[in-house]
């Protein structure tokens, strides 16, 4: 009898840990990285995704994605789990990060997503960062790229 109770407790603990870990690592839509100040989901809109009052905004310095000390933050230069960027086709476009050493950071001048010479970089005005492309974050009338973050709450 005690072996079956012990086994039930173990199964319950393992199940609880799996549920908890899935909740912590859930992907979360944070808005669009965009220069469009009128788009509701744009980070350039201070009343939309760029709001400093939205708890999940990259513009909120007290939230997990805007706090300069959070490992999930777009503004922490040492963050390793910054939000991910995806274009309108669903292609991965790197991490929205100020970390110049992260290979996937859009702030890494030598990386695939940060180099001004890479066709996949937001910093290349003739490639992915072209201000005339409809889905470019640099287009002031466009939609921009989706920002997806892992839930940074404990």
- CA neighbor of 106 nearest in space, from 117, 90, 95, 92: 95
For residue 33, give Cα distances in angstroms to 9, 26, 53, 107, 110. Answer: 46, 20, 17, 14, 21
CB 32 within 8 A of CB 42: yes
**pTM for this predicted structure:** 0.80
User: How much is the pLDDT for 4?
Assistant: 57
pLDDT band at 24 (very low <50, low <70, confident <90, very high): very low
| 59-110 pLDDT per residue, tens | 999 999 999 999 999 999 999 999 999 999 999 999 999 999 999 999 999 9
Token pair recorded at residue 36: 């469009």
């Amino acid at each position: 009898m005690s072996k079956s109770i012990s086994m039930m407790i173990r199964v319950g603990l393992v199940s609880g840990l799996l549920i908890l870990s899935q909740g912590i690592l859930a992907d979360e839509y944070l808005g669009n990285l965009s220069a469009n100040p009128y788009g509701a989901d744009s980070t350039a809109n201070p009343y939309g995704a760029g709001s400093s009052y939205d708890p999940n905004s990259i513009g909120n310095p007290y939230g997990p994605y805007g706090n300069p000390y959070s490992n999930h933050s777009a503004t922490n230069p040492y963050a390793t789990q910054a939000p991910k960027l995806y274009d309108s086709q669903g292609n991965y476009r790197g991490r929205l990060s100020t970390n110049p050493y992260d290979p996937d950071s859009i702030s890494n001048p030598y990386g695939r997503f940060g180099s001004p010479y890479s066709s996949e970089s937001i910093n290349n005005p003739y490639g992915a960062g072209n201000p005339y492309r409809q889905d470019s974050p640099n287009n002031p009338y466009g939609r921009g790229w989706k920002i997806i973050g892992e839930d940074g709450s404990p």
